[in-house]
Structure 1
Amino acid sequence: MNTMNTRNARRGFTLVELLVVIAIIGVLVGLLLPAVQAAREAARRMSCSNNFKQIGLGIHNYHSAYNQLPIQKGGTGLSVATAWDTPNVNANGEELSALVGLLPFVEAQALWEQISNPNAPNKNGTTGTLYPAMGPSPDGGVSNGTTDDTSYGPWSEELPTLRCPSDPGTGVPSAGRTNYAVCLGDSIVSSTDGPTSRTLYKKDSNVYQMARANCRGVFVPRQKAMFRDILDGLANTIMMGEITTDLGDRDIRTNPRLSGTTAALTLDPSACGEATFVNSTRPQFWAESGVTLIATGSIARGYRWADGNPVYTGMMTISPPNSAACVTSEGAYDHSSDTIVATATTDKRYGLMPPSSRHQGGCHVLMGDGAVKFITDSIEAGTQTSPMVAMINLTNAGLPAGSQSPYGLWGKLGTKASKEVIDAEF
């Protein structure tokens, strides 16, 4: 009987044995957790790439249907108010992004029908308007027209096709977010108005000349673009790039800094992310003082998928991916004064808008042939202190029109017709 009791007692674990087992399990979990997290991020990155491929297919289908690309900053015509960037209920001032026209081609026909149907009801039951204007709205109401108006359903829709699963941003104060933006080339000038005069509400000969010189990307604001315009080859030219949406922090990629005049930034784009303005201990964030940031309310990177201004749906191939974003003090050509002038709000101004992502080490880009590539932050980007191509007031304020991009392989990929063919894999 005593022997049986002794055997039964030996069947249990001692405290030391139990602690050893727990320690082993802890070590295994610690070893496996990074692998699990890496696997999850790989899945999210693949999903992001698939979204981009679907967008690329939609763009090609759009071009097959209409023999042109969806227009960046298109819509119901220019404003009849004081200037094109003034909000009103008669038109949206040609502020819509190319993503709006693309909706029926990315399985969002229902949303497109709601937008294109005159007097469609708002979410709050009031009568809506056709393409509410994109200007700033003091009271946030449809009466003044704005993409941050949450009562107008379409502008605040979160479309899964336009979102990268790795980006956690969601909800107010943004309207509907997007992680994919059109490529505007390697110059910031004319990136908001294209060939449009601010005070004449039409395409003016002077701004046409400026736009021809400055708008070197696949998409040109307020102007029809076609695949045949891409003389460097579809496979060699970036059509869109991934962007990160703002999380309400001081991220240099999503909360652009007010950097001064357009002329100054065109002469030296590296001034945007100078060490003086960046947090010395956290270089991905702006310094705590001495920096003026533009993010306020619904103004921030990627915050309005339907708005065609660069801060929301545009990117450039000047600074490498995940570099600092900046806006200048001007953003439109004024025919009456024959100069570029400041606009009503900071989100309508010329700015340096690099692509970015929550993926490690780079971001996705969509090539003209529909292929999706992952571009690393270390891509060869030429001389970052070099002036960009910039025609201001019909005078070359930077490099002359037609110059080779000074921003290396990265700049070449963003220009469509500069005879800069890429003959190597990147």
Structure 2
Amino acid sequence: MNRNPSVRRAFTLVELLVVIAIIGVLVGLLLPAVQAAREAARRMSCSNNFKQIGLAIHNYHSAYSQLPVQGGGTGLAVGATAAWEDTALGNNQRLSMLVGLLPFFEQQALWEQISNPQVNNGFPAMGPTPENTNYGPWGANIPALRCPSDPGDGLPALGRTNIAASLGDSIVRSWLGTKNELLVRTTTDAQQARAACRGFFTPRETSRFRDILDGLANTICVGEIATDLGDNSVSTRSVEVADETVYLNPSACLPNADPTRPRFWGVTPQGGSGFARGFRWADSGPMYTGVMTILPPNSELCNGDSSTLGAPDQAKEVVATASSRHQGGCHILMGDGAVKFITDSIEAGTSRTADSTTSAMVRTGGTLTSAPGSRSPYGLWGSLGTRASKETISEEF
């Protein structure tokens, strides 16, 4: 039987709605898988950046028989009255270890700009202090220092970094190290630094692989940090308490978090828009390029007031917690070059205990678990951050 050619067949409304519904379900199932695959690729790229930095550190040590200095550069600039003073005449030994590493991870051109004076602009060799916005190299965006999962970009930061030096399990002397504000080594400062600066890098001091007595495979070299997005996140901005308060209780700032949004501060963070995580790759300040194994990854930041020195925010001693934009943890680079992903739930001992007899940081004058030479009070996480405390690491991480 021949069909009437004038009759057209089409989808009914019900059939069309069913097809749309099926497509919507498929898209809903597919998108999370696509996002997960993209994050896996970003995480792998981030891990590769850490491997590149690890190789650079080992090549640097092979070339110079020492580690790059966290807090290196030229001495106190002419006319400067303190190391934290902003000056165009020198860098006041405020450069991060990343500056010295530049030629070892394919940034020779940038290194040559920094190591040579810019006569026309009035900048000396090794540049001005790292907050100087007129000095081009400090604002460079270096891909090897960035994690693709971190969307942070642009002002008010200069050149951002997601890679930071491991400074140990105590914030005491974590900015000046063995020296005073005039960059003069004093007996008292050196004694305090020897007791408290127990990480892979010691601020403003030369160190070598031989100093890592706990073993390169058991000591964190650098860690991952998330850069600030201007949202008052507890892991990228800091609030302030008295020095002695945070020495005794690393969690002293936690009550300032917003109770309805605990990942964000409920008070105004410290230091304005410039005092934020990862905002200056060239600055040795703990807020910018430091990591400490005190609070677990992605916990809050907390700084002391440094009132005895009258220091500005850039010179604060900060509980510089590791963090990332990855789900559930962050990357660390061990001294032997191995890259590991540490979860937020790593065992961190007494770091969350507001009991000064057990949670206090190791320092000169400390007693019980905080006495100089003690094993880290912060469990497995703290043990991974110390270079020569003789802890036995028998757990998987």
Normalised by the length of structure 2, the TM-score is 0.94
Rounded to whole Å, the distance in 1 between the matches of 2:12 and 2:119 is 73
2:296–2:344 Cα contact (<8 Å) kept: yes
Instruction: Tell which deviates more after alignment, 296-305 or 226-235.
Output: 296-305
Matched, 1:170 2:138: no
* CA drift at 1:323: 0.5
Matched, 1:315 2:286: no
Residue in structure 2 matched with residue 215 of structure 1 by the alignment: 197
Rounded to whole Å, the distance in 2 between the matches of 1:25 and 1:295 is 50
1:159–1:176 Cα contact (<8 Å) kept: yes
Letter in 2 for 1:130: A
* CA drift at 1:400: 1.3
Gapped regions of structure 1 (runs ≥ 5) = 135-146, 332-339
Residue in structure 1 matched with residue 124 of structure 2 by the alignment: 129
Residue in structure 1 matched with residue 356 of structure 2 by the alignment: none
2:294–2:321 Cα contact (<8 Å) kept: yes
**Structure 2 CA distance for partners of 1:150 and 1:342, relative to 1, 3 Å:** closer
Residue in structure 2 matched with residue 304 of structure 1 by the alignment: 280
Matched, 1:417 2:384: no
Normalised by the length of structure 1, the TM-score is 0.88
Residue in structure 2 matched with residue 62 of structure 1 by the alignment: 60
SS at the partner of 1:396? coil
SS at the partner of 1:55? helix
Residue in structure 2 matched with residue 254 of structure 1 by the alignment: 236
* CA drift at 1:127: 4.4
Task: Report matched runs for 1:134-213 at 5 Å.
Answer: 134=129, 147-199=130-182, 201-213=183-195
* CA drift at 1:295: 4.4
2:326 to 359, 362, 372: 359
* CA drift at 1:114: 0.5
SS at the partner of 1:270? coil
2:89–2:124 Cα contact (<8 Å) kept: no
Task: Report matched runs for 1:377-416 at 5 Å.
Answer: 377-384=344-351, 385=353, 386-391=359-364, 395-396=365-366, 399-416=370-387
* CA drift at 1:281: 2.0
Letter in 1 for 2:381: W
Letter in 2 for 1:223: E
RMSD: 1.7
Residue in structure 2 matched with residue 144 of structure 1 by the alignment: none
1:77 to 65, 75, 85: 75
How many residues are paired up? 389
Rounded to whole Å, the distance in 2 between the matches of 1:106 and 1:56 is 10
Matched, 1:264 2:240: no
Matched, 1:286 2:284: no
Residue in structure 2 matched with residue 346 of structure 1 by the alignment: 313
Gapped regions of structure 2 (runs ≥ 5) = 354-358
Letter in 2 for 1:351: V
Residue in structure 2 matched with residue 4 of structure 1 by the alignment: 4
* CA drift at 1:118: 1.2
* CA drift at 1:2: 7.2
Deviations 1:95-151 (A, max 9, x none): 000000000001100000010011265xxxx444323332xxxxxxxxxxxx34333
Residue in structure 1 matched with residue 22 of structure 2 by the alignment: 24
* CA drift at 1:90: 3.3
